[in-house]
Every structure is written in structure tokens, then in C-alpha cells.
Amino acid sequence: METHHSHPEPARPLEGRPAPDRQPLARGRSEPRLHPLAFLASGWRHRRLVRRLAWRHIESRYRGSVLGLLWSLLHPLLLLGIYTFVFSVVFQVKWGRAEGGNTEFALFLFSGMILYAIFAENVNEAPNLLRSHQIFIKQLVFPSEILPWVSLAASFFTFALSAVILTAFHLLVRGLPPWTWVYLPLVIVPLALLSLGASWLLSSLGVFLEDISQVVGLATTALLFLSPIFYSPDRIPDAWRELYLLNPIATILIASKNVLFRGSAPDWAALGTVTAAGWGAAWLGWIWFVKTRKSFADVL
């Protein structure tokens, strides 16, 4: 009888099947978990819950629409057509040495768009992330720190579908892609880390400062045009080049162009520096979130 009463089982029926996820949650709430691998360990520990919530998040985007999940394919295609027309037809923009016309420019543009979307979607969603999940936040056993993982998983779903479009488009325009495409996951790693770090920080701040979502929206729009998506970094004047490359998104997108279209490996030193910075950002964002989450339920 005594051992039965000492075991923290009451939370298990809340999740139904995912019983394995629930027991660690109640224990983990009292642990500091601030070491540099803590945010990865938490994501792995609750991976089943992350997967379920991510799929629910994806379905909620298109619930009630006639085409449903097809919009996840149509949306990037429509944006690709609009941006290609505006920048390559109206403004006659060329991407560095790429002189293959509008279709060539569309490839470079689309690849930058879908990679930047991973970061922008997570950051734009972060300020209201906890407010939109208040019902979970007010449950003592719910691991609120996994919500940025959920957003990241959902954005990777969209990216995967867009990557299929990119591959098909590349086959039509350029033929088989270069073997250096195998490096693409390494290019995405720092982007994911930066997204997580920003999400933990901004989601926490969004609980206390509702206006922050307005600032974040303007910042991601500005960063869109300060990154080599619509133009080649070669167009940046030499006097501004070093300052421009302090933008980690720019370094990541330059590396993506090398592996996707030029058939060359990324600049490992630059990519390693950005990855280390992304890791530091994710860890610091995690620490901030863990230190402030005790107040979330009270404020919300």
C-alpha cells in the first residue's frame, strides 16, 4: 500500500496512450537541467509528445479549408511565382553569375525562401506560443519547454514538402543536383539551433510583454531583405561585407547556395562558427526559459 501511494501516477490518464512521457515530466519539473545538452535531452525525452503536438499543429493550420494540407504545397509555389515575377521580370534581378533567365533565378530564390521560412515561422510564432497553449501551461506536469520543439518540427514538415518541389524544379531546370546536397543537413543544423534559442527567449518574453510580437514581425521582415535571398551577396559593397556577414542567416544561406547549386562544400570555418553561435543561443534561450517559467501560469 505504501509503495502504491508514493508513486506519482495521477497524471497518467491525462494523456491516455503516452504514459511513458508522463512520468519523467513530473520528476523533471524540479530539476535545474541547465547543462549545455539539456535542451537536446528534453526534446529527445519527450519526442513522442512533440511528434503528436506537431502533427496537431500542422492539421490546425488548414482545418476547415477545402484543400487542407495541399495548401502546404500551393503556398510556397504561389510565393515562388510572385517573387520570381517581381524580381526577375519587373526589376530584372540576376543572381551573380547565374544567367539562366527567370527559371535559374527562381531556383536560387526558392531555396533561400524555404530555408529562411524555418527561422521566420518559429520566431514569428514564438511571442504568442505560450498564450496559445494556456490550457497546457496551467497543468503542472506539462513540459512547456517542448513547445519550441513542436513549432520547429511543424516548420520542418513544411520545409520537407518544399524541398520536394525544389528537387523537382532543379531536375527540370538543371538536371541532377550535385552530390554536395548531402551537406544540406549540416547547413540546416545552425538554423534550427538559432530558431530554438530565439523561440525560448521570445516565447518567455511574450508572456510578460504582449507588444513584442509587433516588434518581432518587423524584425523578421527586415532580416528577410538583409539576407541573400533576393540577391547575391556579391552585390554587397566591400566596405559593408564584413558587417553584412555578421548576420548568421546570411552565412547559412551562402553555404546553402554552395552545396545546392555550385557543387562545392560550405566554408567549414564559417559554418562551424555559426553552429557554435547557434548552440550558445539555444542554450542561453533554454536557461532563460527555465528560469522564468515558474511565473507563466500566474501571468497567463
If pLDDT is split at 50, 70 and 90, which confidence band does 118 have? very high
Query: pLDDT at residue 250 above 80?
Result: yes
C-alpha cell at 208: 510578460
DSSP string, 202-232: HHHHHHH-TTHHHHHHHHHHHHHHTSTTSS-
Give the other-Cβ count within 10 Å of 157's Cβ.
15
Residue of higher predicted confidence among 86 and 198 = 198
Residues 6+ apart with CB under 8 A from 247: 223, 226, 227
Mean pLDDT of 274-284: 96
Cell 527559371, residue?
103
C-alpha cell at 280: 550558445
Cα-to-chain-centroid distance, residue 198: 10
Q: What is the pTM of this model?
A: 0.82
User: By percentage, how much of the chain surpasses pLDDT 70?
Assistant: 81
Mean pLDDT of 123-135: 90
If pLDDT is split at 50, 70 and 90, which confidence band does 93 have? low
